[in-house]
Amino acid sequence: MQKVTFGAGCLWGVESAFRRVKGVFSTSVGYMGGTLEKPTYKDVCTDKTGHAEVVEVVFDPSVVSYDDLLSVFWSIHDPTTPNRQGPDVGTQYRSVIFYHDKEQEAAARLSKEKLQRSGKYKKEIVTEIRPATTFWRAEEYHQRYFEKHGLGTCKY
Task: Note down the domain range covering 85.
Answer: 2-148
Residue 156 lies in a domain: no
Residue 153 lies in a domain: no
Residue 16 lies in a domain: yes
What tens-digit pLDDT sequence spans the chain (156 residues)?
Answer: 999 999 998 887 889 899 999 999 999 999 999 999 999 999 999 999 999 999 999 999 999 999 999 999 999 999 999 998 888 888 999 999 999 999 999 999 999 999 999 999 999 999 999 999 999 998 766 676 566 666 655 544
Q: Which of 4, 10, 72, 138 is catalytic?
A: 10
Q: What's the rounded Cα separation, in Å, for the pair 117 and 81? A: 17
Quick check: is 154 catalytic?
Answer: no
Question: Total domain count for the chain?
Answer: 1
For residue 96, give the CATH number of its domain: 3.30.1060.10
Residue 154 lies in a domain: no
Return mean pLDDT, the chain. 91
Residue 138 lies in a domain: yes
Residue 114 lies in a domain: yes
- Residues 88-123 as b/e (b if ≥16 CB within 10 A, e otherwise) read bebbbbbbbbbbeeeebbebbeebbeebbeeeeeee
Residue 155 lies in a domain: no
Residue 132 lies in a domain: yes
State if pTM tops 0.85: yes
